[in-house]
Structure 1
């Protein structure tokens, strides 16, 4: 039987990681009772002190200051540590981490799939229990994680990023023909990484194709990018009609469109077209941010403060410097807009080597301390994301409350030493994360 190389790679990796997936630290046939814990619920600034929490199957079923017991289950003495939601990374690329741009553009998919499995496990072991994957053929990896074949976070997949000719996903060499003219799909398109489309009919087909594959939301690129080779930062990409077509296709499936967008003109056109979620936004002006706050449009932003990265070309670093300068300005503006819906993402990708792609995934939150308190940062990474994840409606792969510690919420939990609302070290120092639970299953337990 001949297998597609990505499938064969995933089967091989499954064999490697099946021991890790099955050797979870604390499986239990009955409920799990956490005693003697303080709780950060993902929403409120004050800890709920000295309570007991019961997890039954994959759901939080009780939170009480009274003594509780579970028959036939597991009791974990929390030792006064803090129980909090698992972290949510609202902008990841599991399939693009651990590899280089040439490997994305010119190599077969197998190696990237293997690295994706490694990245997924390390992401989970960083305490990140849910990710929104913002471009890449992550559908098979998500399936393997959900089935328990390999360890990893919950994945909200977008599938291939959709861009126009000369847009963010247009990584063609100068001699390559235009796919919308010749009908020959680019290599990134063939690999499910990024599609180049022009016009309403192709936009509808591309959006519907990602939904067919299982996307929980679909991503368009509506402005220039740092990494792109054909798209200056100031550009506005797609027409209003093209954006409206994608929004209509997503809404017909009960979900939404999110967009890669830096500058105000591009983002305002996207909002005019019905888009309710913006990725990045480091070059937005005050009026656009105010509009987003007034109209309930989400901002998924990343702390791009490293302005000269060795892996980028001089041209890319020149664009990166512009984005870095805008990052601080937008964070300052966010502080004056308490009703703006903001979540934290990392956008870590194209970092070759085993696990390098997530080596700073959690530490990246520390960059935000120049603008926000630990509570504000953690809320962006937990409770703020709850509503955003639920925007996928019937396409939500994990119906329920994620990102909060409350009764009936899904049991994605971290037990950390110290008070994370006073010091981020409680989560950015991995040794302080004593227990990692996802979907009611304990993947790490280093308590005495």
Structure 2
């Protein structure tokens, strides 16, 4: 099956300015990219799409996905814990919602139910339900939340042997990334972000066991000691890191070839904007969010300038920050972190593809054909990507999930 997309403004994911051209997709790969108004004019194709100058770009990559955090723009839940079958249904809905909004890949930052994401990946790959390419996770290995709110469990106990058993269990489950909550979370348990929840020996054991099992590690870490432990374990990605000091920042720079960073500002901005009912007290969450954004507005640009690969992904799935709003991180990167629109787009495409370790995130010959056709120019205004109606075409793996109107 060959699809020819003609006369588009091509943003290739590299950060370069868009250029007029055409793209030929053969099977699930990008076969040819030709610049110029008449590029690939003579190519035969089963389907020809006239872009008419709209922007052709790579599919977006969500680097901090919580598909089992049930709330989405289509259905809000006011509780975390759901019956297993309802949680599975919500995860499927959220996978589709992400794809509807142009996210063709997602890296899980932990799940609320055991085995759900592995099952979801199989369903997506079998064509039973739509969704992005997904690196699945299992239950977050985390502390208790406040007031009965729990986002995970420290199962298999404590100590290096328990960690090794946990990693072995995850390997047997078929997941791709282990989520370790290395420090607490003020939003769920006020004052806990400074707490370090693992020992050096446990994190070292996690790193060795994960490498031996061929698994990645994703880490929730706010303060310098938690960041140090995450790096000790060889974390694939560090979330938050808001309170990093100079030494922690230096360590993240030293690890920039192997470790990604996602500050996750979406949840902070959403918390600051939230207007909860009177019986819901978000004052501590709002205070924490304001402090984190102030710190990250300096930390993120500094780390970016030193070559750290920084990704979008903002803890979407809360009722006040539902799945489907994920593209808002792009606007936050521009408004709060000093990114240009093109730099924010590169963080959401090319760098996201590097996190996934897949040939996605670029409009480049030989890469997988995960592509968006956008009505407008996101390199001038990234906010248009928050409107799914502006996505006139969504292609994943060379197949048209959403076709342009005739």
| Superposed pair shares fold, TM > 0.5 | yes
Q: Structure 1 residue 347 and structure 2 residue 315: aligned?
A: yes
Deviates more, 1:323-332 or 1:108-117: 323-332
1:404 equivalent to 2:404? Answer no
Contact preservation (8 Å) 1:283, 1:323: no
For 2:13, what is the secondary structure of its paired residue? Answer: coil
- Aligned counterparts of 1:419 and 1:207: Cα–Cα separation in 2: 44
State the partner residue of 1:97. Answer: 70
Give 2:231's aligned residue.
Answer: 271
Consecutive unaligned residues in structure 1, runs of 5 or more = 1-29, 175-186, 391-399
User: What is the distance in 1 between the residues matched to 2:43 and 2:128?
Assistant: 29
Does residue 388 of structure 1 match 2:355? yes
3-state DSSP class of the match of 2:311? strand
Report the equivalent of 2:60: 87
Tell me the distance in 2 between the aligned counterparts of 1:292 and 1:103.
32
Q: 2:133 aligns with which of 132, 154, 163?
A: 154
Q: CA offsets, 1:96-133, max 9 Å, x none?
A: 122647451xx421111112222211111111111111
2:325 corresponds to 1:360: yes
After the TM superposition, which residues 306-325 of structure 1 pair with which residues of structure 2 at under 5 Å, given as runs?
306-308=270-272, 309=274, 317-325=283-291
Say which of 282, 289, 294 aligns to 1:328. Answer: 294
The question of 1:444 aligning with 2:402 is answered yes
The residue that corresponds to 1:416 in the other structure is: 374
| Number of equivalenced pairs | 384
1:206 aligns with 2:166: yes
Q: RMSD in angstroms over aligned alpha carbons?
A: 2.6
1:53 aligns with 2:23: yes
Change (3 A) 1:382 1:207: same
Counterpart of 1:45 in 2: which secondary structure? coil
Is the alpha carbon distance of 1:243 and 1:368 closer, same or farther for their aligned partners in structure 2, counting shifts above 3 Å? same
In structure 2, the partner of 1:114 is 89
For 2:333 and 2:388, the matched residues in 1 are separated by 18
Report which stretch shifted further, 418-427 or 340-349: 418-427
| In structure 2, C-alpha distance between the alignment counterparts of 1:320 and 1:260, rounded to whole Å | 19
Q: Deviations over 1:187-225 (max 9, x none)?
A: 979xxx544431111111112212221211211010011
Cα distance, 1:279 vs structure 2: 1.2
Separation (CA, whole Å) in 2 of partners of 1:265 and 1:316: 27
Gaps of 5+ in 2: none
- 3-state SS of paired residue (1:237): coil
Question: Shift of the alpha carbon at 1:31?
Answer: 0.4
1:10 counterpart residue number: none
Report if the CA contact (8 A) 1:59-1:440 is conserved.
Answer: yes
| 1:78 pairs with one of 51, 56, 78 | 51
Give the alignment's TM-score, normalised by structure 2: 0.87
Taking structure 1 as reference, are residues 231 and 158 closer, same or farther at Cα in structure 2, changes over 3 Å only?
farther
Q: Deviations over 1:334-358 (max 9, x none)?
A: 2233211111102112329xxx822
* Corresponding residue number in structure 1 for 2:243: 283
